[in-house]
Amino acid sequence: MNTNRRNFIKNTAIATAAVGVAPAVLNACASPAEKITVALIGCRSMGWSDLDTFLKQENVECAALCDVDSNILEKRAADVEKRTGIRPQTTGDFRKILENPDVDAVIIGTPDHWHAIMMMMALEAGKHVYVEKPMGHSIEECNAMVAMAKKHPKLKVQVNMWQRSSKHWFEASDIVKSGELGKVGLVKAWIYKGYNTPYPSLPDGDVPKGVDYDMWLGPAPKRPFNPNRFHYNFRWWWDYAGGAMTDWGVHLLDFGLYAMDAKMPLSISPGGGIYYHEPGAIETPDIEQAIYEYPNHTMMWECGLNPSIGPYGRGHGVAFIGHKGTLVVDRSGWEIIPETNRKEKVPFFEAKKQQHYGDGMTEHVQNFLKCIREGGEVNCPVEIGALTAIVSEMGNIAYRTGKRIHWNDNSKSFAEDEANKLMKVNYNENWKLPRV
């Protein structure tokens, strides 16, 4: 978007965020042909995959990159320059990204414990936001993120649960809703990641050269550097994430909820533990179950870091088990497996299969860009991101308390005090959740 047009459509300044971002202005695009300038915060893994997808779209430019690891930052800046001919600005402090008036939209690809603060500050700074899943790292964060998005209705927030832009998942859900499977009393969702070698326990060590470890920790508790907590492996520590439950659970439980028109469960029962990894190598379970009680059905979650063969021979998926048949859906497509009518000795219906229709990730980014330019509802707004992140967090809260817990949706709290204490994370003294 050129400067003259940006100046013409800017709104008045928005109040500064609680942790101190410069006064904000609202960026918006009025034409489908207009350029959208993005910036990426967190450049190593999924953030880079996200930016790669953005740069494949027309009229998208990368203005800036931010990462606390200068080695990764310089590599990604060179990659963008080689690809586009323009070297983006680089910084290790995401607040400089938010202060940049040339940035229309921010991509947040950081570890989970940063999502809420960055997303909320970005909205206060007048930026559209594309935020990685899980949307938030606690029930409190998710609720605050929803409130902040409502405060800025002209800004678009897309949660990167990109299966929400993948047609075959909705086809499968429509079959479940149609009643073709009969009464569905059981839903199963699972991920078996197939890590054949367990992580070893490693001693604390020196911070790698070029890494701003204090900024990487951000709101998390101050701890010595350990390679098992850093980069990809942050997923296996409660300070920063929620293990496979929140890493994959938000993708799969999402459609377990959607197809059944389900919201918050009545109760959650836990299972699992750390059975395969060395003591101290990880903190979240390498095998975990959660049983979610609903008024008319049960939803079960299973995850395993080391095995790769899950139910129905699939490494991941969601199964809807009805008295006439079972529908199994994963990223490759869906399949209906009929039950046999014992009275008539024949299947209730013919088996069916359908492959996926294409790259949901690309369609997810395209939907976000279209909504920025033309208006309309994104495919995965904060309300959806919050629901699935909260339900996933509930499974982890049950595991951490070691007991069945009960949710009261009227009071938005658990019956158990131990569970209520885990509804939020404790930030260190340098950071706090922005006020709404």
Query: What's the confidence (pLDDT) of residue 342?
Result: 83
Identify the residue whose tokens are 């940049």.
100
**Does any domain span residue 430?**
no
Considering the domain architecture, whether residues 239 and 260 belong to the same structural domain is answered as yes
32 and 91, same domain (yes or no): yes
Asked, for residue 433, whether it belongs to a domain, the answer is no
Examine the pLDDT at 4 and tell me if it is beyond 50: no
49 and 187 in one domain?
A: no
- Mean of the pLDDT values across residues 124-148? 98
Say if residue 126 is in the same domain as residue 171. no
Instruction: Provide the pLDDT confidence category of residue 32 given band limits of 50, 70 and 90.
Output: low
Per cent of the chain over pLDDT 90 is 88
Q: List pLDDT tens digits, range 326-359.
A: 999 999 999 999 998 888 888 898 999 999 998 8
Render pLDDT for 251-295 as a digit per residue (tens, 0 to 9).
Answer: 999 999 999 999 999 999 999 999 999 889 999 999 999 999 999
Q: Distance (Å, rounded) from C-alpha 398 to C-alpha 176?
A: 28
Spatial distance between the Cα atoms of 252 and 268, rounded to a whole number of angstroms: 17
Give yes or no: residues 96 and 149 share one domain. yes
Q: What phi and psi values does residue 323 have, to the nearest 5 degrees?
A: -75, -15
Higher pLDDT, 181 or 358: 181
Would you tell me how many other CB atoms lie within 10 Å of the CB of residue 282?
Answer: 22
Model pLDDT, residue 344: 84
pLDDT > 60? residue 23: no
Average of pLDDT values for 165-188?
A: 98
SS3 of 299, please? strand
31 shares a domain with 171: no
User: What confidence score (pLDDT) does residue 14 get?
Assistant: 32
Q: Is the residue at 236 inside a domain?
A: yes
Q: Is the peptide bond before 265 cis (omega within 30 degrees of 0)?
A: no
- Residue 8: the pLDDT is 31
Q: What is the mean pLDDT of the chain?
A: 92
pLDDT for residue 20:
41
CATH number of domain containing 105: 3.40.50.720
Task: Give 15's pLDDT tier (boundaries 50, 70, 90).
Answer: very low
Rounded Cα gap, residues 355 and 334, in angstroms: 7
Tell me if 54 is assigned to some domain: yes
- What integer pLDDT is reported at residue 31 of this predicted model? 60
Q: Where are the beta strands (DSSP E) in 323-436?
A: 325-330, 333-338, 340-341, 346-347, 352-355, 405-408, 413-414
Q: Is 47 exposed, middle or buried (0-12, 13-18, 19+ CB in 10 A)?
A: buried
What is the distance between the alpha carbons of residues 341 and 364, in angstroms, rounded to a whole number? 41
- Do 300 and 404 fall into the same domain? yes
Residues 191 and 329 in one domain: yes
As a whole number of angstroms, the distance between CA 392 and CA 235 comes to 14
User: Do residues 396 and 308 share a domain?
Assistant: yes
Does any domain span residue 273? yes
Contact by Cβ (8 Å): 46, 161: no
- Write down the pLDDT at residue 307: 92
Average pLDDT over residues 294-315: 96
Summarised one tens digit per residue, pLDDT across range 250-260 is 999 999 999 99
Structural domain contains residue 181 = yes
Instruction: State the total domains in the chain.
Output: 2
Domain that holds residue 13: 3-163+365-381
Please write the tens of the pLDDT for every residue from 49-77.
999 999 999 999 999 999 999 999 999 99
- What's the gap between Cα 59 and its chain centre? 26
Residues 225 and 279 in one domain: yes
What are the structure tokens assigned to 288, written together?
């975990």
Q: Tokens for 180, please give them.
A: 């073709």
> pLDDT band at residue 17, thresholds of 50, 70 and 90?
very low
For position 359, what pLDDT does the model report? 84
Same domain, 144 and 156: yes
Cβ 203 vs Cβ 331: under 8 Å: no
What's residue 349's pLDDT? 85
Helix (H, G, I), strand (E, B) or coil at 18: coil
Pairing of strands 89-91, 105-108: unpaired
Tell whether 158 and 251 lie within a shared domain.
no
Residue 435 domain-assigned (yes or no): no
CATH number reported for the structural domain that contains residue 311 in this entry: 3.30.360.10
* pLDDT tens-digit map of 388-404: 999 999 999 999 999 99
Question: Does residue 140 fall inside a structural domain?
Answer: yes
